[in-house]
Amino acid sequence: MSSHGAPIPMISAKCGPLSGIADVPGDKSISHRSLILGAMAVGETRITGLLEGDDVLDTARAMRSFGAEVEKVADVYVVHGVGVGGFAEPDHVIDCGNSGTGVRLLMGAMATTDISVTFTGDASLNGRPMARVTDPLALFGTQSVGRRGGRLPMTLVGAADPIPVRYTVPMPSAQVKSAVLLAGLNAPGKTVVIEHEATRDHTERMLKGFGAEITVEDTDAGRVITLTGQPELRPQTIAVPRDPSSAAFPVCAALITEGSDVLVPGIGLNPTRAGLFTTLREMGADLTYENERTEGGEPVADLRARFSPNLKGIEVDPTRAASMIDEYPVLSVVAAFAEGQTVMRGVKELRVKESDRIDAMAKGLRANGVEVDEGEDWWIVTGRGHGNVPGGGTCAARLDHRIAMSFIVLGMGTEAPVTVDDGGPITTSFPIFEPLMASLGAKITRA
Ligand code: S3P
């Protein structure tokens, strides 16, 4: 919800070796989709391993407001869906808190049903662009009116007689792609979405699992996804895999902290999500995949990360950007401990996340003695090598969970402690971050 409490300043100091097992929570992207698709199926969907972060809990609340039943029975989230086109009109404003994924997917899911919904969020979400979603939704016949610049709060009037759409997504965004596909569910005929760069494909995989007719073709024009509208979605039993974007934090912390050896079990390595780990290995990280297996149709492995004193800066392959888009902040922290420059290009999307992540990281890294150069869609971190990153600075989290966690990781390897002005947002995606990192040996205190 948008009502954040008082800021929670946190200080992260150099610690001994990090060691042990890091059981990170469920995948945020898959958790949102499980609730939304469960609500659009007919019957009872059962979800284990759901991420109980604020973002996902806001989506669960929203689904109840749209008429689905969502309840927790022991460790299982049970969703009684209302079927495609079956959403009721909520009688109050839908507050998506901090979650761009939540609001954009919900907009898509309701866009082709004859209901009106007003969406809002916290100060971060209300500053983010929504036209990227409402523009394609308008092609179905959905109307929207929000604040200037396509910002929340915003009301969408769902199309009573939706028409199917053919849409090429202009930026690499799984949220936009997914919003169009979810809207296509209640349009008659075939909705076609084309993306030039492959972004995370959880929506496509899960729609197939729920029984929709959906095909994906790699063509010269890009990835062409074709969905046949108005299916009856079959309820599913879903085991949410653990989140590679959360795994990134204990993995990166172990790489920069002397003597560390951390095991992060059961991490999804879907190629549309695992770009960070490939990049870290190219930088010379001692990061291995153990016990590689397939679970629920997804490649999964236990990640073993050990202290890596000889990291090298690299030019990160820009074609990999979409598969590691949420991981650039923590990658820039690792880059500070490498020898030489780490060059990150083709990352304009970082400027419209929960915060402008290039600006937020550049300012915080500079405050801790690390040189950063930046342009609109690129940035370069000049590494200082292990044992040479001064620290001692204060960083602004800007209501961005990944910025807060990245700077806490930074402090684990710097000479002087790093202060983060507000660790409160961490609960949006990784509510057990503090106790989990402490159990590995991290020294995080609340100021
Ligand atoms: C997400 C897509 C990405 C990512 C976000 C989750 C999703 O956003 O940054 O954390 O679950 O679809 P964009 O679609 O804006 O790239």
* 404 DSSP assignment: H
Task: State how far the Cα of 422 lies from the Cα of 326, in Å rounded to an integer.
Answer: 19
Task: State how far the Cα of 49 lies from the Cα of 248, in Å rounded to an integer.
Answer: 18
Task: State how far the Cα of 381 lies from the Cα of 372, in Å rounded to an integer.
Answer: 5
Q: Look at the block and give the residue holding tokens 């090429």.
A: 168
What region does 102 belong to: left with phi over 0, alpha with psi -120 to 50, or beta? Answer: alpha
What ligand 1 atom has the least distance to the C-alpha of 171? Answer: 16
pTM above 0.85, yes or no: yes
Q: Which of 34, 325, 403 to mutate to test the pocket of ligand 1 (most atoms within 8 A of CB)?
A: 325
pLDDT score recorded for residue 84: 98
The neighbour count for residue 244, using CB atoms within 10 Å, is 27
Measure CA 270 to chain center. Answer: 14
Task: State how far the Cα of 167 lies from the Cα of 135, in Å rounded to an integer.
Answer: 10
CA nearest ligand 1 atom 11, residue? 29
Q: Which of 277, 274, 262 is nearest to 334 (CA)?
A: 277
Q: Is the dihedral of CA 212, 274, 402, 317 positive or negative?
A: negative
pLDDT score recorded for residue 32: 98
Q: Give, for all 447 residues of the chain, the pLDDT tens digit.
A: 434 689 999 999 999 999 999 999 999 999 999 999 999 999 999 999 999 999 999 999 999 999 999 999 999 999 999 999 999 999 999 999 999 999 999 999 999 999 999 999 999 999 999 999 999 999 999 999 999 999 999 999 999 999 999 999 999 999 999 999 999 999 999 999 999 999 999 999 999 999 999 999 999 999 999 999 999 999 999 999 999 999 999 999 999 999 999 999 999 999 999 999 999 999 999 999 999 998 877 899 999 999 999 999 999 999 999 999 999 999 999 999 999 999 999 999 999 999 999 999 999 999 999 999 999 999 999 999 999 999 999 999 999 999 999 999 999 999 999 999 999 999 999 999 999 999 999 999 998
175 CA → ligand 1 middle, Å:
5
Task: State how far the Cα of 115 lies from the Cα of 82, in Å rounded to an integer.
Answer: 14
Angle between helices 244-256 and 328-336 (to 10 degrees): 10
Q: Which of 28, 37, 200, 276 to mutate to test the pocket of ligand 1 (most atoms within 8 A of CB)?
A: 200
- Is-contact 15 410, C-beta < 8 A? no
Ordered by where they begin, the domains of the chain are 10-26+241-446 (3.65.10.10), 28-233 (3.65.10.10)
Q: Which of 190, 191, 215, 188 is nearest to 204 (CA)?
A: 215
Task: State how far the Cα of 202 lies from the Cα of 99, in Å rounded to an integer.
Answer: 17
Q: Which of 58, 286, 326, 421 is catalytic?
A: 326
Q: Is the dihedral of CA 184, 188, 193, 198 positive or negative?
A: positive
353 CA → ligand 1 middle, Å:
9
Show Cβ contacts of residue 140 under 8 Å, excluding neighbours closer than 6 positions: 111, 112, 159, 162, 163, 164, 165, 183, 184, 187
pLDDT score recorded for residue 4: 66
Residues with CB under 6 A from ligand 1: 29, 101, 173-175, 178, 200, 325-326, 349
Task: State how far the Cα of 92 lies from the Cα of 95, in Å rounded to an integer.
Answer: 9
pLDDT score recorded for residue 93: 98
CA nearest ligand 1 atom 13, residue? 173
Three-state SS for 136-182 is HHHHHCCEEEEECCCEEEEEEECCCCCCCCEEEECCCCHHHHHHHHH
